[in-house]
Structures are given as structure tokens and as C-alpha cells.
Structure 1
């Protein structure tokens, strides 16, 4: 479904694989120009570029570093036709909090929370000039339901949801919407370390026989960037089959 003309650009972080890749693909199909941000270009994203010509850009950056984040922020501020920002990049390191190394804590806080806040600041400045725009932050079911071994990851996502609501109040005067999408369990590289017993236990928490996919999450993001969501802001839309209800 194409709902927007070429010429409006959306930056998608963590775009090279998993949910970010599906979001990029869905937005390109809907007619957006997309700038994917990731640490390295994957074969899948390269093929996406080939199939969509000049509408699929790529920016190599490590959002785990201040320099990488600020380099992306600079590109966002300079984008004359910026329409959207999807803060999808994330890091999850499991382990009981009593034994979690501080380096792992720092990594999750930097990528999952600081990077979205810095990039959102740049995006709001650029969007305010056009009096329109969309920011979508990718949260997690963890912010609604506790999971052992994911304390810091959960803290970053809960903070991201709070930040989203406040930013929505600040950006609304410029016609900018700010929302969260909170996926449930999705089979991605990030979740590949979960054993099958745990995976099945998580899946049983859902109300539906349908297993949530990256494409399901991408469809909701696509909706939030569409004209149909013009009056939706400061919301957290869960895509989890009812697991956190």
C-alpha cells in the first residue's frame, strides 16, 4: 500500500536485519525514501537497495559510541525532507542483575536509550522547520511484564516509553507525533540465544495462535507513519498477541 509520495525521508536505525530490516522494507513499499542505519551493510539490505534503486540509502554508524550517534544526528539535522525517525536499534544482554558486568549495562543504556534521545532531538529540530513529522520508538513487552535476567534492558525500554510520552507533549505544537511500538517475542538475532523450552513458555503467554513476526511489527510502524495515524501520539502500541494484557 503506497500512502505517500517519494521525497519524504525516514531514518531507521538497526536496519540491516530483523525488525529494522522489515520496517525498512515496508516503508519502501509504501513509497518512502529510507536511510537505514547500522554498523555494517548486510547482504539482505544490499539487495533491498538494488530492488528499490536510489530510495534505499544506508549510513554506517555504531550507535554504541558517542561519535557514531552524533554522526547520524548530524545527517538527520541536515535532511531537508525529513519525515520520520524510527529508533529501532537495540542491545539485550541477559543475566541476573547481581552478576551483570557494568560494560553490558553501559552498552544497553547507550544504544537503547541515549541514542534514541539524541537522534530524536536532532529529528525534532529538523521536523519543526516543516511543521510535521513522525518519531517511532521501538520498545518491548519487557516494559510491561517482568522477565528474569533482563533488568537493565527492561529499565531502558520503560524509560524509552516515558521519554516518548514527554517528547510527544513537547513536539505536538509543531504537528509532530511521537509513539512507541512494543513487540512481544519475535524470532530475531537478538532472541537467538533463548533456549527452546523458554521460547515455548514465552509463546504460551499469548492469546492468539499466531506467532508475532517482524513483519507484524513493521506493519504497525508503517501505520504510525501513515495519514491514518495523524491523530495518534504519546501511545504505546503493543504487538504481542495479547501476551502482556
Structure 2
């Protein structure tokens, strides 16, 4: 069976969304998972999320990458985040054991494989947490990845950038469920969307599946019990706007 890589980003402590996406990924025959950072922050189940991901990493079914919210757990990043994000990080710290924090501390900033680069924000200065949102930021990411494929998170909206005949990276808005041919003679940057906190008005959880041998990428959006996830945020005493954001507001 050919490799199918599940790509999950910006999980943000959303256990209900995580379980729905993992279940869908298994249904789709995913053979390996890549968690593209921001495992924690914003939502109510950071310890449970880290436990599940650490288990998958330990049994070699997954790799995980460091995100800026993960880094904020052990490094002061308050000046780079808004008040709600900072409140969520402070609360998250109270929920994690030292082994959870060590797991986050040991995550790599970027992973290069044969023809693929995995990173949370951008392959261009990955520790600066630059967003890939337009042609220029996608081009910088592609150039610095040195690979045909770069898969990123950080920007919570799904997008695919492809290299045209003159080398410019063009933005394409993918339709969930449609297989997209991504031929390796071009460069591609896939922004896989947020599993745990959508920003496009749709409360469904996002991820993508890449089949290297078939050169096919498919974006997915999965319904889940976002009402329960939002209620957990409220019960935890986290800012109300974070609960509202789970609904896509």
C-alpha cells in the first residue's frame, strides 16, 4: 500500500475535533500522521491532546513539529500574542505536567524529508513565525524549503500555492474532498487549515492528506461536536471569544 500522510495543524487543545479528524484519517487509509504545530493553546484539553500525539510519535506512527503556541508554554512570547491567546497559554501551563512541557520543548522547528518539508509557519526563518498567506510569503517558504512540497499551518485557512511557468507562486482555494494533482516538477506550498480553531466562518475541523507516490493532495473538513468543545472552553474559565471562535465566529 502506498504511503498516505495525514497533515494536521493548529490543533489548539481541541479534543473533539482531534478525535473526529483522526477517525476520518483512518477511514481514508492514512498510514502516517504529521502534526504541524500549535498542539496547545486556545481550547480546553491540552494534556489529553499531548498524550495522544506523544503516543503516536512514540510508536512511530507520527511526527510532530513545534508551533508558536507550543513554544509560548516554555518561552515568554506574551508580546507576540493577543490577550485571549496569552490567557489561554497561562491557563494551559496550569494543566500540563513537566513531561508534557518536555515533550513540547523537544519538538523540532522544521523537518526535511526526501522531497517534503514540514514546518508550522514557514520554511523561511521558521522561528520567526511568519505567515504564508500570499504569493511572496509562499515563494519565500518554497525557496527556503528546497523541496517540491512544503506543508505548513499557522494561517488557519486552507490554501494551496503552486509554481507557475515563470516561477511565481499562485494561490489556489481548494475545495474539500477534491483530489488535486500536485506534480513534483513544480514547487507547492500547502496550508492545511486549522483542526482546532477555524477562521473562515465554517466550524468544521480541517486537515489534508498527501499521497507522495500518486502526487495527489486532498483537503478535508470534518464536522464534530463543536458545541461540546466550546462549552468546555467556557467551563474552564477561558475567554468567551475563544468559545465563540470554535463556532466559526
Q: TM-score, normalised by structure 2?
A: 0.37
Larger helix share, 1 or 2 = 1
Compute the TM-score of the two structures, normalised by the length of structure 1. 0.38
Which one has a larger percent strand, Structure 1 or Structure 2?
Answer: 2
